[in-house]
Every structure is written in structure tokens, then in C-alpha cells.
Amino acid sequence: MAINKRDVHSVVSQAVQQGIESIDTAPTYNNESEVGDALNNTPSVKVIIKVPKRVSSSSEARREVEKSLKLLGRSFADVILLHWPSDLIEGDSLPSVWKELEAIKKGGMCHILGVSNFSVDALRLLLSSCEIKPAINQVERHPLLPQYDLLEYCQSQSIAVQAHTPLGHGNKLLLEHQTVLEVARNSGMSPAQVLLSWNLQQGVPVVTKFTSKEHSRDVTPLLQTEISLSPLHMKAIDHIGLSAVEPIRFVAPPFMYKPGALYSWGNNPPKRG
């Protein structure tokens, strides 16, 4: 939940009032303490915390989890996600860090372990040495980055895929795509509803960012809507990715584009992202 510190309390409070079920946090958002104060230990809201990319050892992983829980005012997290695997794979420390997270789960500090931004190869590497399989893989997913191979692999391993950036950070390439607009008009949905429904109807839960009270009011009803896309509309949205020259990532950090790296998305960052 990337929100300015001064807006956290009002945005989170409103989201809770509107029935939001979970809050996705991360040290990089720099607002865990404010989120914790706003939640005031609300038991109905599940808390997801992330082990950040800077972690390189098992002891650092435990310290980060303990720090996040302290800032959030929680004794445990509902979900802990290992955020970016690139450095851990390069340093051959993924197995030891995951083993520490397994110990954290066994110790009662979290209910569910998962990962974020893991490819099929990264998952295979983790699954070859882990005792507790990740239950979730949170990745960027939308019609311009459908990641069907990853979705299929995760399903074969009983790993749930969760979509972050399902609206492409509001980029017009998605929200103003001609097909999205046509489906929105024909279905009586907004473009955002179309994009969220596309993931949800494929069994992929979505994580959206609330950056303001206005955004909260716009997004929360979309997650609670009971309307759905028809098979023809789903096929039309599917065709967006199938007809694209190449997949488009809106979350494309430079560290994921290193020539010769063991885990990367290519040699050069995309022009759009």
C-alpha cells in the first residue's frame, strides 16, 4: 500500500470501513508504522508483509520480519512474501533465507509463506530445496503481461498466483486500450472493472494500490462487484496480449536487467515501464 504518510490514516480507515480484507505492506513503502496505527490491530484485516530485496542472509530476514511486525503493531503476519529473488539467487543464499522463513512460520510469526516476482525458473530452484512450499506467487499480471506459462506452472504446483499492478499503474496503454474501452462500453463496466475482472475470472486475486481516499473509493467497489465478463469479452481481452509485439511490464526495475545474471528479465530495460 504505497501511500504518503500524511494520508495513511484516512485512506486505510476508509478502506477498512468499505470492507477491505487485506493490506499489502512493504518496508520500501516507508509507512508500516502509520499503517499499523491506522489498522489499530483490526482483527478482520489480514496483513501481508514483505522481506525486502536488501536481505542477503537468514539473520537479516528474521530481523526484517521482526522489524515490520513491530512497526505494524502485530505479533504475527497473515502472509510473509519474499519480495525479489534476484540477489538471493546470485548469492546462492535463497535456500538458507527460505529455511529461516520456514522457521518463522513454524514459530507462529506467520500463517502463510509466499514469494513475489518469481519466475518459473526461480520457483523451480526454490522448490528443489524447500520444506514448506510457497503458497502464493505475487507477480505483475494484466492483459499486456498475461504470463500464462507461469500461471500454468504455479497451478501444477498448487501455488496461487496473485496479480499486482493489475491496472498497469493506470497507464493509458491498458486503461485506454481500444479493446478495453469497447468491452467496458458493451458490458456496462468501467475500464478498471474490466481489467480486474479479467484476472479474477481466471482465478487470480488482485492487489491494487490505494494512494488516496479517492482511489480507495474507486477501487474497493470494483473488488466487491458481482458483475462479470462474458466469454466473448474474456476472449477479446485475452487477444490484447496475444496480439502484442512483446509483453509490457510496468514494474521494470533496472536490477532485473543485467547481462549474464543468473536471474533476469533480459539485457535491457523496456522503453515503457
With cell 536471474, the residue in question is 263
Whether the CA torsion 218, 220, 224, 230 is positive or negative: it is positive
Give me the half-sphere count of Cα atoms (radius 13 Å) on the Cβ side of residue 90. Answer: 16
**162 three-class SS:** strand
Q: For 83-103, b where at least 16 C-beta lie within 10 A, e where not — what string?
A: bbbbbbbeeebbebbbbbbee
C-alpha–C-alpha distance, residues 62 and 65, integer Å: 5
List residues with catalytic annotation.
29
Helices (H) and strands (E) in the chain, counts: 12, 7
Distance CA(234)–CA(228), nearest Å, equals 9
Alpha-carbon gap, residue 273 to 260, rounded angstroms: 22
Rounded to whole angstroms, the Cα distance separating 85 from 53 reads: 7
* Cα of 86 vs its chain's centroid, Å: 16
